[in-house]
Amino acid sequence: MKYQSHAVDRGAVHKPMRLQLHRWSEEHRGEETMEAAVAYLLLSLPLVTCAVAVILLLLSALKPSKARASGGVLRLPPAPPAVPVAGPLLWLVRARHRLEPAIRELHRRHGPVLTLRFLSPRPAIFVSGRGVAHRALVQRGPAFSSRPPAIAPFRVLNSGQSTVSSAPYCPLWRSLRRNLTSGILHPSRVPLFAPARRWALAALVSDLGRRCKESGGEVAVVECLQLAMFSLLTYMCFGRSLHGRRVREIEAVQRELFASYISFQVFAFFPAVTKRVFWRWWNKVLAIRRRQKELFLPLIRARRENGGEHGEDLSYCYVDTLHAHQLPKEEDERALTDAEMVSLCTEFLTASIDTTVTALQWIMANLVRQPEVQAKLRSEIDAVVSANDGDNIAEEDLKRMPYLKAVVLEGLRRHPPAHFLLSHAAVEEASLDGHRVPAATLVNFSVADVSLDEAVWDRPEEFRPERFVNGGEGVGVDLTGSRDIKMTPFGAGRRICPGLALALLHLECFVATLVREFEWEPVAGVGVDLAERPEFTVTMERPLRARVARRRRAAAAAAAAWI
Ligand code: HEM
């Protein structure tokens, strides 16, 4: 028999009644429900059951509900005791800026799987720990591979969940994800974008060099990284090297979106009301969407109108794959609409730029703090490049730089850009480690806790790339988590980040260039503060400022950092 979601807490029922319940359930094994049991009591013990019903109602409001699933009675994962209205508010006020440590503390008390009832209108399940993440994401295959219903602002921005990251587990998701992976991210496509990478890296070197000169060496690093990454990813997306003003306009609208992510959560609650109360924020959602259309549609249409004639532009880009894409039969085998293409381009930029820049900034911050790691990395890069008898790095050279890979991996382990995966949801009602997970409930997996697990990592708080070389505990780590989850900056299972390989390539290219072309030191009296700030990603509370000095002749470095 199908179970109901609003069952009662059996342990709270008075003992004689429990006996009656038990007897009743023995007689009706296999088809009983708690609701039917309550009905039985209501018929047989009218007076007492009135009182019980009231208690049960109260308890069901305060405690995790339980219900029957095939083979037994399952409850939602444990939840901290909830005092309706006041409790959540107090907790939220306390935790607003320190939500993650607060959740960690709750895991310590309640175990690796717990329910929080007041972060969203539906209960949200939080999962921490390598074992349970592996069981849910990898061993159970598709069971937890869906996405929950999106809240109002995101439905506007993602065209009603018609993007790879937001679509539920369904044929639409499969078709959009396949288009992205086979069209852009497949290893055979990566060389097509080498000209874009060379162009963006040369621009980065000359931008950083210019800023060094103008400021006497002290540079706000993240601004340069962002500009270069926007230039590269917009090039891959629209097929055109967009210059100055246009890149900055796209950057501005994306930044506004990132900065608003947390405040948009308010529309999860009573959207009809919150849209009126917070009308300024709602207008901001609409303004961001309007601006995205103004900026992206001319680029999307130009690509369609030019057909195969692209002049100096890339011969192939993400927008080309979108123009050619046909949705599956469940979506009437139609082409993508302009609005859907705007959403998919936004996703392409959102998913790839901020994550990679955040990782890059953390890596450079640690290299500034640890000059010996920076020097060791530089001598590896110099040795490989000069062994090739070259002046500039070639992408092929990266294969011969194990310490560079170790630095990038350590950056992703110690400072994963996302501390939680995007919210998952069970495709249909499921169980997880003996707990009930209703369909469409938010399931949030912690990323940061996994890579700080002392059972795997020696002194996990330290930034120590050596753990990934020469027999260290991280050697051979499987970033996909298929065999075993040790760190999971890109997620695991069906929803794993499809940009994993591209992200690693970009990080290696950028770090190699920055370390080969410049010397990095802390700003005297300021140092490097590793405090975190949760935004769309978890970035540096105080963005990195460093003293940067050019190593090589300006002309050689600016002309081409890469061959
Ligand atoms: C350092 C860089 C990056 C990091 C740390 C990162 C991390 C992640 C994480 C944690 C997820 C969520 C996985 C889940 O929900 O289980 C994700 C999803 C995704 N990422 Fe990345 N990512 C990075 C770069 C990229 C790049 C370069 C692209 C490609 C353009 C990309 C495209 C996506 C997409 C489309 C999804 C949604 C996948 C789905 O729902 O099926 N990411 N990424």
- Probe ligand 1: pick from 490, 535, 538, max atoms within 8 Å of CB? 490
Please determine, for residue 63, whether its predicted confidence score (pLDDT) is greater than 70. no
442/512 Cα distance (integer angstroms): 39
How far apart are the CA of 498 and the centre of ligand 1, in A?
A: 6
List the CATH number of the domain containing 329.
1.10.630.10
pLDDT at 265: 81
User: Which of 26, 59, 75 finishes a domain?
Assistant: 75
- Probe ligand 1: pick from 497, 535, 536, max atoms within 8 Å of CB? 497
How far apart are the CA of 63 and the centre of ligand 1, in A?
A: 35
- Report pLDDT digits (tens) over 98-115: 788 888 999 999 999 999
Is residue 426 assigned to a domain? no
Is residue 100 assigned to a domain? no
Comparing C-alpha atoms, which of 128, 104, 5, 1 is closest to residue 437? 5
Domain shared by 504 and 374, yes or no:
yes
How far apart are the CA of 490 and the centre of ligand 1, in A?
A: 6
Instruction: Decide: 505 and 190 in contact? Cβ < 8 Å.
Output: yes
Domain shared by 270 and 391, yes or no:
yes
Rg (the chain; Cα; Å):
27
- For ligand 1, what atom is nearest to the CA of residue 488? 10
Residue nearest to atom 21 of ligand 1 (CA): 497
Instruction: Decide: 117 and 65 in contact? Cβ < 8 Å.
Output: no
pLDDT at 3: 29
Sign of the CA dihedral running 298, 304, 305, 307: positive
Distances (CA, A) of 71 to 52, 135, 322, 526: 27, 19, 46, 61
Domain shared by 64 and 182, yes or no:
no
Helix (H) or strand (E) holding 68: strand 66-69
Q: HSE, CB side, 13 Å, CA atoms: give it for residue 252.
A: 9
Is residue 397 assigned to a domain? yes
| C-alpha dihedral (418, 279, 249, 194), degrees to nearest 10 | 30
Residue tagged 């308010």 (tokens): 266
Mean per-residue pLDDT of the chain: 84
Is residue 108 assigned to a domain? no
For residue 170, say whether it is annotated as part of any ligand binding site. Answer: no
Is residue 482 assigned to a domain? yes
Domain shared by 266 and 406, yes or no:
yes
Domain shared by 400 and 518, yes or no:
yes
pLDDT category, 74, cuts 50, 70, 90?
confident
Overall number of domains in the chain: 2
Is residue 158 assigned to a domain? no
Supply the range of the domain harboring residue 444: 171-421+435-448+455-559
Residue nearest to atom 6 of ligand 1 (CA): 490
Angle between helices 338-369 and 500-517 (to 10 degrees): 40
256/535 Cα distance (integer angstroms): 11
How far apart are the CA of 36 and the centre of ligand 1, in A?
A: 46
Domain shared by 71 and 175, yes or no:
no
Is residue 136 assigned to a domain? no
More confident residue, 535 or 183: 183
Ligand 1 pocket at CB < 6 A: 164-165, 177, 180, 348, 351-352, 355-356, 359, 417-418, 421-422, 489-491, 495, 497-499, 502-503
Is residue 483 assigned to a domain? yes
What's the CA angle centered on 403, arms 398 and 407, to 5 degrees? Answer: 100
pLDDT at 11: 31
How far apart are the CA of 453 and the centre of ligand 1, in A?
A: 22
- Report pLDDT digits (tens) over 440-493: 899 999 999 999 999 999 999 999 999 999 899 999 999 999 999 999 999 999
Residue nearest to atom 28 of ligand 1 (CA): 499
- Report pLDDT digits (tens) over 123-177: 899 999 999 999 999 999 889 999 999 999 999 999 999 999 999 999 999 999 9
Comparing C-alpha atoms, which of 302, 287, 281 is closest to residue 253? 287
- For ligand 1, what atom is nearest to the CA of residue 493? 16
User: Which of 37, 58, 75 finishes a domain?
Assistant: 75
Tokens for 111, please give them.
Answer: 């175990």
